[in-house]
């Protein structure tokens, strides 16, 4: 968990979707698939993808994933390729990139233009970090509004992805509420990381009802408790978050994109985890 936070800071962040269809990119028939598209955040493969981008994404296609959420790694959002080359490569595999996490405080308009040129739906801020005051979160909301306007100008959307820190009260005020209440509903959406929301002791459904229609994407990431009382992510279906009952309710609340992500790999490796996550997702309905 700390590793992800350190990575984001090191990458310069201020502050990751593969759909499963009845026939995958390799023509293999799958049974008992989810009833709507499902995605994967490439951060799930962060330790193996660098230098093996094409090989890794081909593996994801073979697992049945058909949507993708990228992130701004060492080679950028498009992994050393031009936006159009990356689009052609992934779509030839039957995978469509719909969103990406990125540093929205560096060359944001250029990133928006590139994303719009290949049909992405979202640019997402993945991290702002714990702030010193509620006023700091209000300033961030203003910055999000500015990002939303830039994205709107180019026909796409801007969103923010939460961690647990934004649910920690400051003088009785929830920072996540501040960011949601002070952003334009027409131009700023949110991506709920359900793992981090649960880790903060917040019920995802209750919080979505508090802010109806604001969450358009979610990260589907399961949680396991450790012997020391801490927690980490695990293969979906092997943890404590009941996605079989949760996802149908999430879908009724306006969420359009369900995106698999995993950060820890006790007893498995990243590629096997992505495969096992896909296998479990095929049993879900929403």
pLDDT for position 36: 64
- pTM value is 0.89
Residues 69, 122: Cα–Cα separation, whole Å: 9
Q: Looking at the domain assignment, is residue 261 inside a domain?
A: yes
Kindly state the percentage of the chain with pLDDT values over 70.
Answer: 87
Q: Looking at the domain assignment, is residue 168 inside a domain?
A: yes
| Burial class, 166, CB count within 10 angstroms (exposed 0-12 / middle 13-18 / buried 19+) | buried
Q: Looking at the domain assignment, is residue 43 inside a domain?
A: yes
The closest alpha carbon to 138, from 101, 176, 168, belongs to 176
Residues 175, 180: Cα–Cα separation, whole Å: 9
- Average of per-residue pLDDT across 13-25: 38
Residues 224, 241: Cα–Cα separation, whole Å: 9
Q: Looking at the domain assignment, is residue 249 inside a domain?
A: yes
Q: Are 97 and 65 in contact (CB under 8 A)?
A: no
The closest alpha carbon to 128, from 97, 101, 149, belongs to 101
Q: Looking at the domain assignment, is residue 135 inside a domain?
A: yes
Residues 70, 53: Cα–Cα separation, whole Å: 11
Does residue 11 carry a pLDDT above 60? no
Q: Alpha helices of 118-212 — where are they, by DSSP H?
A: 134-153, 175-181, 194-199, 204-210
- Average of per-residue pLDDT across 128-144: 98
CB contact set of 82 (below 8 Å; sequence gap of 6+): none
pLDDT for position 267: 87
- Please give the tally of structural domains in the chain: 1
- Average of per-residue pLDDT across 136-153: 98
Q: Looking at the domain assignment, is residue 286 inside a domain?
A: no
Token representation of residue 220: 């589907």
pLDDT for position 83: 98
Q: Looking at the domain assignment, is residue 203 inside a domain?
A: yes
pLDDT single digits (tens) 239-264: 999 999 999 999 999 999 999 999 99
What DSSP state is assigned to residue 88?
A: H
pLDDT single digits (tens) 164-217: 999 999 999 999 999 999 999 999 999 999 999 999 999 999 999 999 999 999
Percentage helix, strand, coil, to 5, in the chain?
40, 20, 40
Q: Are 68 and 98 in contact (CB under 8 A)?
A: yes
**What is the DSSP annotation of 245-280?**
HHHHHHHHTT--EEEE-----TTS-HHHHHHHHHHH
pLDDT single digits (tens) 70-97: 999 999 999 999 999 999 999 999 999 9
Q: Looking at the domain assignment, is residue 195 inside a domain?
A: yes
Token representation of residue 102: 């990125």
Kindly state the percentage of the chain with pLDDT values over 90.
Answer: 83
Half-sphere exposure of residue 121: CA atoms within 13 angstroms, side-chain side: 15
pLDDT for position 87: 98
Residues 251, 241: Cα–Cα separation, whole Å: 16
pLDDT for position 282: 87
Q: 111 in the Ramachandran plot: left (φ > 0), alpha (ψ -120 to 50) or beta?
A: alpha
**Domain that residue 46 falls in:** 2-281
> Which CATH number do you get for residue 206?
3.20.20.150
Average pLDDT across the chain, whole number: 89
pLDDT for position 285: 83
């Amino acid at each position: 968990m700390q590793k992800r936070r350190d990575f984001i800071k090191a990458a310069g962040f201020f502050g990751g979707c593969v759909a499963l269809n009845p026939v995958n990119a390799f023509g293999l028939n799958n049974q008992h698939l989810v009833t709507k598209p499902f995605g994967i955040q490439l951060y799930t493969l962060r330790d193996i993808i660098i230098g093996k981008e094409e090989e890794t994404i081909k593996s994801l296609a073979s697992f049945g994933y058909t949507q993708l959420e990228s992130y701004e790694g060492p080679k950028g959002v498009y992994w050393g390729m031009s936006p159009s080359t990356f689009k052609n490569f992934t779509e030839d595999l039957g995978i469509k990139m719909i969103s990406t996490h990125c540093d929205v405080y560096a060359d944001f308009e250029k990133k928006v233009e590139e994303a719009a040129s290949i049909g992405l739906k979202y640019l997402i801020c993945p991290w702002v970090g714990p702030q010193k005051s509620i006023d700091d979160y209000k300033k961030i909301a203003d910055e999000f509004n500015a990002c939303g306007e830039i994205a709107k100008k180019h026909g796409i959307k801007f969103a923010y992805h939460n961690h647990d820190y934004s649910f920690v009260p400051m003088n009785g005020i929830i920072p996540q509420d501040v960011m949601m209440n002070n952003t334009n509903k027409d131009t700023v959406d949110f991506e709920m990381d359900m793992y981090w929301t649960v880790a903060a002791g917040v019920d995802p459904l209750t919080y979505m009802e508090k802010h109806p229609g604001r969450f358009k994407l979610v990260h589907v990431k399961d949680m396991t408790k450790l012997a020391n009382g801490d927690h980490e992510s695990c293969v979906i279906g092997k943890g404590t978050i009941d996605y079989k009952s949760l996802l149908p309710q999430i879908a009724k609340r306006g969420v359009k994109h369900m995106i698999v992500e995993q950060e820890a790999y006790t007893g498995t490796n990243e590629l096997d985890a992505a495969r096992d996550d896909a296998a479990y997702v095929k049993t879900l309905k929403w």
